[in-house]
Structure 1
């Protein structure tokens, strides 16, 4: 029996259903999106409208506008029979049991046997959903709870019913893992599953405690934010992000389904302030504002007063004591509102999570993964308990006369996680330790580090043996910025790999591959007049990247997150790129008044010139490269990076972040047999005639107010490199000559005080200066 999922049907074109359909299309899989039939000439208007809206939405549900072509639209009345073409049917309609059951009856009569059917519900038990359905339908049914937005949130909670066929569920799980890039958490069929049950309780506890203790929203977000590993939004900022109007809906759902006696009921109380905010349209970022508000006209940030409900200018709370900001045990022991608030949150939320082991999930790993992936916590509840001390937490609960969850008694004074023999282990419900098992084909650098020492290391980079003759070069500096120490270790690495290994992968587990060169060091060198040092930095980087390119072994770059400036350039020098789907790649130097200095011009030119569809002649490739570099274009996905020619057609894209290193390693090994370094490119560039044509275009942009005076200067420098400097269209420009020109132009730009102003502004604000 063919078990591949080649086409998917999503029923329900609301925000979630449409987002799921878009993400299936992102994976390159055709999808049929159905919704109700609309009265009028176009009965498919609801589903079509959803696709049209997504093409305008930011952040974009589609990784490339071309992915939208894989979404077919229709309506349930006219096209439901087409589910027979599909291998997986996802129901994402309104959360009403009667409507869902009516739809399932129709689906059962039309689908092929063995076709998986899943619901995206987060509130209705699976047993209720399949009540009255046949044995065959129940075998094909499961819950697949995506998190919004489906493209960006890595968590999917999957619930199997007692009658679900493991083969059917396994087929869906494999697809959402490999094709959709999700990390699967298996949840039990309980209200809210894992993440929303704990997350909703956490937010309710935190908001109530802030009001009870008389804290400002800024104080609450400071205490309940980064010290606890919560995203920089904090508590109230996160509610603004997800939507304040969602709070009463989640509360209603959980109070209707949770068993009596659940601690969640203690958090439910009238919230007149929230009711007032929703009624007046202050529903968070999607509305007129929320607990925080930004006035665009005056460029002023406001926060709401939790006592009066009135807005006032944003206040910066006093810093927490340094040790308490880093040590949760000290934070909850602080005397006064800060310690009281920290304990009010952690002293309730952590025992609540511990109580759910065995009820909502089989083990602590599932609960920790659900909160880290679903709510972007840096640490899961049990990792937080380890940071406090399980015995210390249990003792304080007992001292307050509160119940201690069984798993806390089981762990005692031990930790929930430990490393044994280079293997991370977790505490099971029976008190033993078991290995944290990764899925087949998953390789994480964090696991490699537990069982080995680096082959090479300095302050900014490290080299790790990842097995089978492949080593991994990891950037380790702040934001993975590239500096002279990275360049130095790369040079050592090339020699080591040549002697002892087969291939090299450039990769990091960090959220961002590299934000580029360390501009702070460059600016410091300029202010110190250390021009020789700057020239060495540029020339040394160019030489090292070319040594990497022409090394006698394969090099594969595996970027994820931001790969900007030098992070993009080093990737362009690899034999192949295996990029995570969420890779944001670009040569952004122009935004800081600079030009790419480590070979980026030539590498991008070569890619564009060789790409299918690029017209012959020197000017087409130059024109495309100029637009990309001079406007500092950054791809919003790996698919878009391919459209911008940062990725070749032959380069790979990995949807699941957990599989990126393994995929890159496999790609490197596949290149080993018969490997020969690439031939150096030669360029035919237009010279002065090309620069004149480009300058005319830039002047037009400036006349329209689309470019600043210094943008015109910077663009001229980019054009000078891309057109080959003092050359003619009949001349051949070597790679080395282009590097020499690039280096000179970079240094000219660095000497310009207007560039120095831009670099300073970027370092201070993270944004480009429009001078």
Structure 2
């Protein structure tokens, strides 16, 4: 049954977040809660939740317009609306009696055959459906989202003995394609996959830190990026999720696990945690946690707690040689002799052997477990990928040497060589019986990383590569640090257009890095400016304009497929594409003013064109100029692909892919569809711009902001240069301005600003601190 309408019952943070993600997918959703005891508005709780969604940061909604798809209500008056609903998600308090009471209440109201699921993170499915009618058991499953639902990609789906296969198929497909989730089919075991391993990791890391006498900074210095976890580390993560949650999770896990489970051996009373919670130190949502911000005396001093005494003192960055050694890999880290290395081994030896003991108990294969930890906890590698990086045989031998248990599956991997291997250009994974099976991607998933296993790039340099992705379509991949664009990147853009024009049909610009591109390599530009290599910079601007022009007017479709940040020059290359297939979590913007510059590779020109009035639009030339000026001068960045449409970085007919794993496939299909429709490149446009009068109007607005203290002196200078470009220079409303003329104005303004001291200061400050300088 296709899911065309949904309902979430429970308007707390999690339930509202799930409703928001369903709305982000363009699907209408009811959000219901109980009738409040006080007040006259019987749906006040759900309405309040929607108001919070609109104000929350980071935003649960990809566009404020999505809130219109969420209809508030209550479970006393609005259950009759469930007759039109295809999926009901229960997200209420973790009490079996309340959940089962709700399920009984829904019967007779629910659409026949609709999916009913629980977002429980702790209660087994068998307990939830015990004694329930057959109709409930047949339509029931667990859909465990991770918080926040918009940003965390993991969705664990658990079926019961009597759950219809169609239920699991429908909800998996919807979660994948529409909600953008990585689907992990977990088994009905305590904590499922993510929390079974994640909670063990946290418990092991806390107890090891106490046993080895590490400070919170030292523990986080190891349990963060060195092992491939987020930079928050362990104690930073506990502060983030809330310390008061931990005793509940621990108690729940302990009540469900067998007495001989390894987790049970880790548990111990921790009076410090109990005292912190009692005193209101519950993490970031409270007065602080393992870290706090001391604002006494008007200052802001970051402090950390002493794990033994409970006293706070100024936090200092941990200096551990082992943290640096981790650049050589996990094995180098755990073999290091300092206390950081000892700590890493004590945690990882327990964690990874525990994970190896849980397959196939919690999931059918290692892929599900690794995907669960990577998308549920934002780890760079899953447990089995970690073992492979160290060497399965080495890891098993070291465990045995220290008289630690070696799970049978780990012993099998040690004998076979690894949990993953590449055979005939395809990834295979080990099964508990010792055989390997091919890793099969779902239909509609095309990954560049898979293509690389069986092919070599068509063209390559240090910053970019061109790949054949089949059916006559090529993929241009940027791969410099943070995908910053440099002369090599630009050269390959031009070479790719030339190659595809001669030998292929279409081009997709895409990569699988965290960010599509953060823009031009300003470090290179600053270096060149400091030694007065002006011709080199001038040439780089000209090369970029030429390369992007080639993209725009290529005789074949070029489709941009971004995800993550697409800023500055990264945004500009997309603006020149025939079409864009954007991942929902694409953050686009022209941010050059932050370093004292303006877009120099056609960004000004393309934004002017995007804001041009239609043939029947009575507006004159000034509104489009003012709109483009506002977007660029304020360095507006769309915080989603949906918002990018609102800001005109994306056109109305550009498409959005919710699941990042499907992005390249969708972009390729878009390119092929354009070909099938008889694609023809655009013709250069001619504009009529206001000239000096328009520039003066924009200048007056900026000077007004300066007088109010909202704009700094160099903001005025940069804005004046931008106004000169967007108004068309020394033109007149009766004159025609070509795209090439605007490009020349861009280049001139860019070079002029680069010769100023305040711009160089902004560039240096950004490189040093990562933050814009207001000067």
Conserved 8 A contact 2:227-2:326? no
Give the structure 2 partner of residue 74 of structure 1. Answer: 73
Where 2:695 maps in the other structure, the secondary structure is: helix
Deviation for aligned residue 1:15:
0.5
1:325 CA drift (Å) = 4.1
Distance in 1 between the 2:687 and 2:740 partners? 11
What is the correspondence of 1:397-412 to structure 2 with a 5 Å cutoff?
397-412=399-414
Matching residue of 1:703: 707
Where does residue 757 of structure 1 map in the other structure?
A: 761
**Alpha carbons 1:227, 1:326 under 8 Å: kept:** no
1:140 corresponds in structure 2 to 139
Quote the Cα distance in structure 1 between the aligned partners of 2:169 and 2:613. 42
Partner of 1:116: 115
Q: State the SS of the aligned residue for 1:34.
A: strand
Partner of 2:361: 359
* Contact 1:608/1:614 (8 A) holds in 2: no
TM-superposed deviation, 1:613 = 11
**SS state at 2:55 partner:** coil
Q: How far apart in 2 are the matches of 1:339 and 1:325?
A: 13
Deviation at 1:267, TM superposition (A): 2.1
1:37 pairs with 2:39: no
* Range moving further from structure 2, 488-497 or 754-763: 488-497
Q: Distance in 1 between matches of 2:430 and 2:644?
A: 42
Name the counterpart of 1:98.
97
Structure 2 CA distance, aligned partners of 1:463 and 1:512?
18
Cα shift at 1:244 = 1.7
Q: Distance in 2 between matches of 1:154 and 1:324?
A: 27
Matches within 5 A, 1:412-491: 412-413=414-415, 414-491=417-494
Alignment RMSD = 1.4
Q: 2:588: which partner in 1? A: 585
Q: 2:223·2:229 contact (CA, 8 Å) conserved in 1?
A: yes
Mark the CA change 1:416 to 1:204 in structure 2 (over 3 Å): closer, same or farther.
Answer: same
**Corresponding residue number in structure 2 for 1:576:** 579
1:579-599 Cα deviation digits (max 9, x unpaired): 000000000000111000000
What secondary structure, in the 3-state scheme, does the structure 1 residue paired with 2:515 have? coil
1:19 pairs with 14, 17, 20, which one? 17
Equivalent-residue separation in structure 1 for 2:526 and 2:617 (angstroms): 38
CA-to-partner distance for each residue in 1:446-497, whole Å, 9 max, x for gaps? 0000010000000000000000000000001000011100111111111110
Does structure 2 conserve the Cα–Cα contact (< 8 Å) formed by 1:614 and 1:620?
A: no
What is the Cα deviation at residue 286 of structure 1? Answer: 2.3
Deviating more after overlay: 460-469 vs 128-137 = 128-137
Correspondence 1:310-709 to 2 at 5 A = 310-321=311-322, 322-413=324-415, 414-610=417-613, 616-673=619-676, 674-709=678-713
Q: Would the aligned equivalents of 2:6 and 2:29 in 1 still touch at CA under 8 Å? A: yes
CA displacement, residues 526-553 of structure 1 (integer Å, 9 cap, x when unaligned)? 0110000110000111011001110111
Distance 1:612 1:588, change over 3 A: farther
Tell me if the contact between 1:123 and 1:192 (Cα under 8 Å) persists in the aligned partners: yes
* Structure 1 residue 330 displacement after superposition: 2.9
Q: 1:70 to 1:530 in 2, by over 3 A?
A: same
- Distance in 1 of aligned mates of 2:615 and 2:193: 48
Cα distance between partner residues in 1 of 2:402 and 2:528: 58
2:500 & 2:337 partners in 1: Cα distance?
Answer: 55
- C-alpha displacement at 1:224, in angstroms? 2.1
How far apart, CA to CA, are the structure 2 residues paired with 1:754 and 1:698?
A: 18
The 1-side partners of 2:190 and 2:29 are apart by: 30
For residues 401 and 476 of structure 1, what CA distance do their matches in structure 2 show? 44
For 2:616 and 2:506, locate their aligned partners in 1 and report how far apart those are by CA, in whole Å.
32
Q: List gaps (5 residues or longer) in structure 1.
A: none
Stretches of 4+ moved more than 6 A in 1? 611-615
**Helix, strand or coil for the counterpart of 1:109?**
coil
TM-score w.r.t. the length of structure 2 is 0.97
**Cα distance in 2 between the residues matched to 1:546 and 1:385:** 47
Give the Cα–Cα distance (whole angstroms) in 1 for the partners of residues 321 and 32 of structure 2.
52
Q: Distance in 2 between matches of 1:542 and 1:295?
A: 50
Please say which of residues 716-725 and 47-56 is displaced more in the overlay. Answer: 716-725
- Residue deviations 1:594-624, cap 9 Å, x none? 0000000110111122579976221111111
Most deviating of 695-704 and 720-729: 695-704
How many residues get paired? 769
Matched, 1:716 2:716: no
| SS of equivalent to 1:769 | coil
User: 2:7 aligns to what?
Assistant: 9
The 2-side partners of 1:284 and 1:161 are apart by 36
CA distance in 1, matches of 2:683, 2:434: 60
Q: Deviations over 1:499-523 (max 9, x none)?
A: 1110000000111000000000000
Please name the residue that 2:183 is paired with. 184
CA contact (8 A) 1:611 1:648 kept: no
Contact 1:487–1:540 (8 Å) recurs in 2? yes
**SS across alignment from 1:689:** helix
- SS state at 1:55 partner: helix
TM-score (norm 1): 0.98
* Alpha-carbon offset, residue 727 of structure 1: 1.0
Task: Give the whole-Å Cα distance in 1 for the aligned partners of 2:576 and 2:338.
Answer: 56
Question: 3-state DSSP class of the match of 1:78?
Answer: coil
Moved more, 395-404 or 87-96: 395-404
How far has the Cα of 1:108 moved from its partner?
A: 1.6
How much does 1:693 deviate?
Answer: 1.5
Matched, 1:727 2:738: no
Distance 1:701 1:690 in 2: 17
Measure the CA separation in 1 of the matches of 2:687 and 2:291.
Answer: 54
Residues of 1 paired with 2:464 and 2:354: CA distance? 40
What SS class does the counterpart of residue 202 from structure 1 fall into?
helix
Query: 1:31 deviation in Å?
Result: 0.3
SS state at 1:598 partner: coil
- 1:523–1:328 distance in 2 versus 1, CA, 3 Å: same
Provide Cα deviations, 1:124-161, integer angstroms capped at 9, x if missing partner. Answer: 11111112222222111100000000000000000011
- Given that 2:321 and 2:338 are in contact with CA atoms closer than 8 Å, whether structure 1 keeps it comes out as no
- Separation (CA, whole Å) in 1 of partners of 2:336 and 2:57: 42
Distance 1:494-1:517 versus aligned 2 partners, 3 A rule: same
